[in-house]
Structures are given as C-alpha cells and as structure tokens.
Chain A
Amino acid sequence: GAGVSQSPSNKVTEKGKDVELRCDPISGHTALYWYRQSLGQGLEFLIYFQGNSAPDKSGLPSDRFSAERTGGSVSTLTIQRTQQEDSAVYLCASRPPGQINYGYTFGSGTRLTVV
C-alpha cells in the first residue's frame, strides 16, 4: 500500500492476556520504528529495526514487550501478560534507506485498552 498500515486499529483486552500488534511498512522502507503515546502526550521510543542489523531494543519498558520483523517487512509487537499501564496508542513508522534526515511516515496507530 501507499502508507504504513497498522492493525488492529483498536484492541480491548483483559489484564493478564497477551496481545499482538501488527505493522506493515511502506514497501522498500528499511527502517521501522515502534513508539508508544499516552493521551495527548509525546511519543516514547520502544524499538527500532534497520535492515538486517540487530534491532535497537533500548526503549522496551520491560521483558513483557518484544518485537520481531520478518523478511525485512512486516513487524509484530507482542505484549505478554498485559497490565493497565500498558494502555496507550502504539504507533509504527517507517523510513526509506539512506535518508537519515528524512521524516518518518507513521501509521494511524493501535489504541490498546487493558481492562
């Protein structure tokens, strides 16, 4: 597609359940990022994939969070044993190769609510 696609757009889950969030970046974009945004706030970095390099996981808040990127394209962010503080909008973005100073293209996000 023309843009970054995220699914589901909304997810309500019970505390303690696992959830998977999906991101389909723009074709050919080698860099993929996951951020988390609380209501009306700035973005908190979670994880960054760049080509075949080892991902930068420095922003993952706990070992309940993990992400993978298969075939250099689609990425899945998994949250295990969800807690109420995990409730937020999870945003995915991608960027073309070699364009370090270029902007990100964001998806519309997945709104996660843990009840």
Chain B
Amino acid sequence: TQLLEQSPQFLSIQEGENLTVYCNSSSVFSSLQWYRQEPGEGPVLLVTVVTGGEVKKLKRLTFQFGDARKDSSLHITAAQPGDTGLYLCAGELNAGGTSYGKLTFGQGTILTVHP
C-alpha cells in the first residue's frame, strides 16, 4: 500500500494546455514537497509547503497543500515542452510518526508536453 498516491501516472498534452497532478494520503504530513526529475539526473526541489491550505506559486506552477495536510496538488498553466519530466511529490510525517526526518515519495507523474 502506497502511503502517498500520486495521479495520474502518465500525462501527455499539447503545448499551451493546463494540467493538474494530485498527491493524496490518509496520513497527515508536517510538510509536503514537489520535485522535478529529468533523465539521468536526481530530483530537484520545486517547492515545500508546510501550512494547511497553503498556496505557493512558481511562475506558471501553482502548488496547494490541503487544509488537513493530507493532500496536495500541482497545477501547471500553459504547459511548455520544457516542462516535460517526472514530477514527484514527497511527504514528511509528523514528528510523532516513526518516519520523522525522512521523506516518503509518491510513484511520480511522467509529463510529456508536445510542441
């Protein structure tokens, strides 16, 4: 059973379209992070959200943390071919949890944006 369910697993869209990636769990996280990974490289941090209901924007990317801190979403507006890559959500459980101090990753979303 995956602690973090990420969907969709694959996304193929045309340049200019909008998209949303979801990350859901039954657990409460102290923080949730989004990473982007390109082939042959390690994941690179995009954003960290820590407060329930928090919304952060990074150019055309909007990240939201659910009010109960159990879920998150990544929305990309007017996608470009340069957005192509593997997007990963990762959560850190509350301090009282046995997983404190380490991140649990979702399965990832492979995004392909066609010119």
Residues of chain B contacted by A43 (CB below 8 angstroms): 43, 88, 90, 105
Pairs A-B, 4 closest by C-beta atoms: A106-B42, A103-B45, A101-B31, A43-B105
Which of chain A's residues 1-47 have a Cβ closer than 8 Å to chain B? 4, 31, 33, 35, 40-45
Task: Decide: B48 and A102 in contact? CB cutoff 8 A.
Answer: yes
From B86, B102, B104, B107, A56 is in contact (CB under 8 Å) with B102
Tally inter-chain residue pairs, CB-CB below 8 A.
Answer: 62
Identify 15 residue pairs between A and B in the complex whose beta-carbon atoms are under 8 Å apart, listed by A's number: A31-B101, A42-B6, A42-B105, A43-B105, A48-B102, A50-B101, A56-B102, A100-B30, A101-B30, A101-B50, A102-B48, A103-B33, A103-B48, A104-B103, A109-B42
Q: For residue A113, give the distance in angstroms from its CB to the closest CB of chain B.
A: 14
Main secondary structure of the interface of B (DSSP, over half): strand
Interface residues of B, count at CB 8 A: 28
Interface residues of B, Cβ cutoff 8 Å to A: 6, 30-31, 33, 35, 40-45, 48, 50, 86, 88, 90, 92, 98, 100-108, 110
